[in-house]
């Protein structure tokens, strides 16, 4: 699949649920209204959609959410998708998780062929963790990280940089990740969906964080690329990677190789734009898969050149109305 700007689309992220056992302050309001259950695709339908994308050249699948591991029986989806690893049609099957359920699932994920997992963790201070996630418990996530390590799954930590919340701790987290053998990726908050607070209060530019980290750590630039938005450095003292995802201060779209599918079968060609394609109707209308195939081609033909996120004090509404938990982070 080649989009109008010549970018090859080889990466599909799939949000399998918009629900979550946490309520992170930058991601959700505490009283979220979730999608009606009747609108959610079955796990079999999600498998069919993913399989169609694999047939069209997707080499990497990332299962996300919401919290993917709280969807009932989600392991059956992983098991089914694992067959594409066995045939060699897929290079990688992975997930992004808050880590709360990894103690239960790490072994099975490893057996299916999941080699790497991204775990979102913004702080290693238990009280702060509860303040950020509202409903989460740090010790459960730490146990999940241990389980992943025992199962032989590589962990990358994703941390959102939050002004006045974890900004003083990021430097220590670089050291902690180094000790545990994890790469770390820092993310700026993006204006996605209504939350209870004001986003301009949370936004911390990573250019500032990087300058501060430079006082303690030696950050060597690398041209390591995952086809994604992160710019990577290597922390000389730990030997581990430190990535920066700066949607607000840097436009990362020229190398974008991905599209995002929601649990209702909506395909978003860009995280930062409203334009979308419905794949549920063609999936259900035509068992031969021809209509779905056409709908995917038509959607890829509309992939926009880039996003235009702005966090603007004069505007009360977020730049994009849907939450990250719907589109899949
Ligand atoms: N629940 C899983 C987790 O937390 O890893 C997967 C879904 S979560 C939506 C994926 C990622 O999006 C997390 O790393 C989270 O920190 C990030 N995220 C959520 N809302 C965001 C926002 N408004 N700006 C930047 N990152 C956000
Ligand atoms: Fe849940 Fe992930 Fe959003 Fe936190 S960031 S509320 S863990 S979906």
Q: How confident is the model at residue 115 (pLDDT cuts 50, 70, 90)?
A: very high
Is residue 94 in contact with ligand 1, taking CB distance under 6 Å?
no
Q: How many other C-beta atoms are found inside a 10 Å radius of the C-beta of residue 250?
A: 14
Position 252 scores a pLDDT of: 63
Mutate to test the pocket of ligand 2, among 23, 31, 35, 67 (most ligand atoms within 8 A of CB): 67
Q: Are strands 183-187 and 241-245 parallel, antiparallel or unpaired?
A: parallel
Is residue 100 in contact with ligand 2, taking CB distance under 6 Å?
no
**pLDDT tens-digit readout, 176-222:** 999 999 999 999 888 777 777 777 778 899 999 999 999 999 999 99
Is residue 309 over pLDDT 80? no
Position 117 scores a pLDDT of: 98
Position 273 scores a pLDDT of: 80
Measured CA to CA, the distance from residue 64 to residue 188 in angstroms comes to: 19
Distance set, CA 152 to CA 91, 145, 227, 262 (Å): 18, 11, 24, 29
Is residue 137 over pLDDT 50? yes
Distance set, CA 174 to CA 97, 139, 241 (Å): 20, 19, 9
More confident residue, 148 or 320: 148
For 151, how many CA atoms within 13 A lie in the half-sphere containing its CB?
A: 25
Q: How far is the CA of 136 from the centre of ligand 2 (A)?
A: 10
Q: How confident is the model at residue 329 (pLDDT cuts 50, 70, 90)?
A: low
Give the containing element (helix H, strand E) for 245. strand 241-245
Mutate to test the pocket of ligand 1, among 26, 27, 138 (most ligand atoms within 8 A of CB): 27
Averaged pLDDT for residues 160-187: 96
Is residue 136 over pLDDT 60? yes
Q: How far is the CA of 293 from the centre of ligand 2 (A)?
A: 32
Position 135 scores a pLDDT of: 97
Is residue 166 in contact with ligand 1, taking CB distance under 6 Å?
no
Measured CA to CA, the distance from residue 105 to residue 182 in angstroms comes to: 19
Q: How far is the CA of 4 from the centre of ligand 2 (A)?
A: 32
Instruction: Check if the beta carbon of residue 275 is closer than 8 Å to that of residue 26.
Output: no
- Taking the CA atoms of residue 263, residue 269, residue 274 and residue 276 in that order, the dihedral angle to the nearest 10 degrees is -60
Is residue 18 in contact with ligand 2, taking CB distance under 6 Å?
no
List the Cα angle 172/178/184 in 5-degree steps.
Answer: 80
Is residue 24 in contact with ligand 2, taking CB distance under 6 Å?
yes
Averaged pLDDT for residues 302-327: 67
Give the single-character DSSP code of 105: H
Position 315 scores a pLDDT of: 52
Measured CA to CA, the distance from residue 15 to residue 322 in angstroms comes to: 13
pTM: 0.93
**pLDDT tens-digit readout, 79-109:** 999 999 999 999 999 999 999 999 999 999 9
Which atom in ligand 2 lies closest to the alpha carbon of residue 28?
A: 6
Position 270 scores a pLDDT of: 86
**pLDDT tens-digit readout, 236-289:** 999 999 999 887 665 667 788 999 999 999 999 988 788 899 999 999 999 999
Q: How far is the CA of 129 from the centre of ligand 1 (A)?
A: 14
Which atom in ligand 2 lies closest to the alpha carbon of residue 65?
A: 8
pLDDT, mean over the chain: 92
Q: How far is the CA of 97 from the centre of ligand 2 (A)?
A: 8
Residue 157: φ, ψ to 5°: -95, 135
Q: How far is the CA of 22 from the centre of ligand 2 (A)?
A: 6
Q: How far is the CA of 294 from the centre of ligand 1 (A)?
A: 31
All domains of the chain, ordered by start, with CATH? 11-327 (3.20.20.70)
Position 308 scores a pLDDT of: 64
Q: How far is the CA of 27 from the centre of ligand 2 (A)?
A: 6
- Per-residue buried b or exposed e for 302-318, using 16+ beta carbons within 10 Å of the residue's own CB: ebbeebebebeeeeeeb
* Sheet hosting strand 154-160, strand order edge to edge: 219-221, 231-235, 241-245, 183-187, 154-160, 116-120, 92-97, 60-64, 11-15, 258-261, 266-268, 276-278
Position 99 scores a pLDDT of: 98
Q: How confident is the model at residue 313 (pLDDT cuts 50, 70, 90)?
A: very low
Measured CA to CA, the distance from residue 155 to residue 149 in angstroms comes to: 8
Residue 227: CB partners within 8 Å, gap ≥ 6?
A: 10, 11, 255, 257, 258
Is residue 118 in contact with ligand 2, taking CB distance under 6 Å?
no
Mutate to test the pocket of ligand 2, among 15, 133, 162, 193 (most ligand atoms within 8 A of CB): 133
SS3 153: coil
Closest CA to 229 of 193, 181, 186, 167: 186
Is residue 262 in contact with ligand 1, taking CB distance under 6 Å?
no
**pLDDT tens-digit readout, 33-45:** 999 999 999 999 9
Give the single-character DSSP code of 192: B
């Amino acid at each position: 699949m080649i989009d109008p700007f010549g970018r090859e689309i080889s990466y599909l992220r799939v949000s399998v649920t918009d629900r979550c056992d946490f309520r992170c302050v930058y991601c959700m309001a505490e009283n979220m209204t979730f999608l009606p259950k009747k609108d959610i695709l079955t796990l079999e339908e999600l498998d069919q959609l993913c399989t169609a994308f694999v047939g069209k050249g997707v080499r990497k699948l990332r299962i996300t959410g919401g919290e993917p591991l709280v969807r009932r029986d989600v392991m059956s989806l992983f098991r089914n998708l694992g067959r594409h690893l066995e045939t060699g049609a897929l290079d990688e099957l992975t997930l992004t998780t808050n880590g709360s359920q990894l103690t239960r699932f790490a072994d099975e994920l490893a057996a299916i062929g999941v080699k790497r997992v991204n775990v979102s963790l913004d702080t290693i201070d238990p009280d702060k963790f509860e303040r950020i996630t509202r409903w989460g418990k740090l010790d459960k996530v730490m146990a999940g990280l241990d389980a992943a390590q025992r199962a032989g799954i590589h962990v990358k930590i994703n941390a959102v940089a939050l002004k006045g919340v974890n900004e003083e701790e990021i430097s220590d987290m670089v050291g902690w990740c180094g000790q545990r053998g994890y790469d770390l990726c820092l993310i700026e908050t993006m204006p996605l969906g209504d939350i209870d607070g004001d986003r301009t209060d949370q936004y911390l530019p990573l250019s500032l964080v990087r300058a501060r980290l430079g006082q303690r750590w030696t950050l060597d630039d690398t041209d390591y690329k995952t086809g994604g938005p992160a710019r990577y450095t290597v922390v000389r003292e730990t030997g581990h990677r430190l990535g920066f995802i700066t949607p607000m201060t840097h436009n990362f779209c020229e190398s974008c190789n991905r599209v995002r599918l929601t649990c209702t079968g909506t395909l978003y060609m860009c995280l930062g734009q409203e334009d979308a394609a419905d794949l549920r109707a063609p999936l259900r209308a035509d068992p031969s898969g021809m209509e779905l195939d056409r709908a995917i081609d038509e959607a890829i033909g509309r992939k926009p050149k880039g996003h235009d996120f702005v966090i603007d004090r004069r505007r009360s509404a977020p730049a994009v109305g849907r939450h990250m938990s719907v589109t899949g982070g």
